[in-house]
């Protein structure tokens, strides 16, 4: 894939806001230990230029892998998707966090919340530009996490995932781009169709769905190899940082 890195990087940096926290970490991708016992080890990618400008904040992309990468080898999360691209593309314009599930585990939103909180407190992250994506089991979790906390993510991209239509109204104001293969017999395409229909039934106008013809479960290959996905993510940001929105609601109730 010939990545339009210049365009992506320019868009990411043009939207950056000043921060004061300096970081001494090196640019590139590296394995990180779990932030606490029972949480997830993860791959952390810092784009080229992150360490050079201590005042710039960066968009954050959270990637949740599928069942096939579970285990104790954190390098396996780089087999597919954003961490794979980041490994070969130093200018990939997102700080990228890719946690690892243990064998036979499923994604725990509470643990993911704590990891996300740690990352946003220790790295120079723009809180209005936090994005979520995942494939298969990670796609299910992307739907679940985004519906549980719809004001936390500027945009969400579930791939070959299945959501719960009963939660879809929570996503009516969240930009969502779902992807599926029409011949997927592991997670049938209805998993994405049902969410798209339910979001729109609630009045949501920001969701979109791409169905790849004659493709099975690995819709993540064309989805993540398309620069249009990353340009679409970067085109969205929250109007108000999540903490500020929460604080305003608390004050309004007093």
For tokens 């996905």, name the residue: 229
* DSSP β-ladder status, 42-46 and 95-99: antiparallel
pLDDT tens string 55-107: 899 999 999 999 999 999 999 999 999 999 999 999 999 999 999 999 999 99
Q: Is 128 left (phi over 0), alpha (psi -120 to 50) or beta?
A: alpha
**DSSP class of 80:** S
**DSSP class of 161:** -
pLDDT above 90: percentage of residues in the chain: 82
Beta bridge partners of 60: 95, 130
Mean pLDDT throughout 229-241? 92
Q: What pLDDT does 78 receive?
A: 97
Mean pLDDT throughout 6-31? 56
Ordered by where they begin, the domains of the chain are 5-253 (3.40.50.1820)
**Does the predicted model carry a pTM greater than 0.75?**
yes
Q: What pLDDT does 25 receive?
A: 72
Cα(245)–Cα(128) distance, integer angstroms: 11
């Amino acid at each position: 894939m010939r990545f339009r890195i210049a365009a992506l990087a320019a868009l990411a940096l043009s939207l950056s806001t000043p921060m004061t926290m300096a970081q001494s970490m090196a640019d590139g991708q590296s394995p990180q230990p779990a932030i606490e016992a029972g949480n997830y080890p993860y791959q952390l990618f810092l784009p080229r230029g992150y360490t050079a400008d201590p005042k710039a904040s960066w968009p954050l992309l959270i990637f949740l892998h599928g069942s096939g990468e579970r285990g104790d080898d954190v390098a396996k999360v780089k087999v597919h998707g954003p961490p794979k691209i980041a490994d070969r593309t130093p200018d990939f314009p997102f700080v990228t966090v890719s946690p690892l599930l243990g064998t036979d585990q499923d994604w725990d939103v509470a643990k993911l919340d704590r990891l996300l909180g740690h990352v946003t407190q220790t790295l120079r992250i723009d809180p209005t530009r936090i994005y979520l994506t995942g494939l298969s089991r990670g796609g299910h979790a992307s739907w679940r996490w985004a519906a549980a906390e719809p004001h936390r993510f500027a945009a969400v991209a579930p791939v070959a995932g299945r959501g719960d239509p009963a939660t879809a109204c929570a996503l009516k104001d969240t930009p969502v781009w779902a992807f599926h293969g029409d011949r997927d017999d592991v997670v049938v395409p209805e998993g994405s169709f049902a969410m798209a229909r339910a979001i729109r039934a609630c009045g949501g106008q920001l969701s979109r769905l791409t169905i790849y013809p004659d493709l099975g479960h690995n819709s993540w290959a064309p989805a993540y190899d398309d620069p249009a996905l990353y340009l679409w993510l970067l085109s969205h940001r929250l109007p108000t940082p999540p903490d500020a929105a929460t604080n305003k609601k608390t004050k309004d109730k007093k």
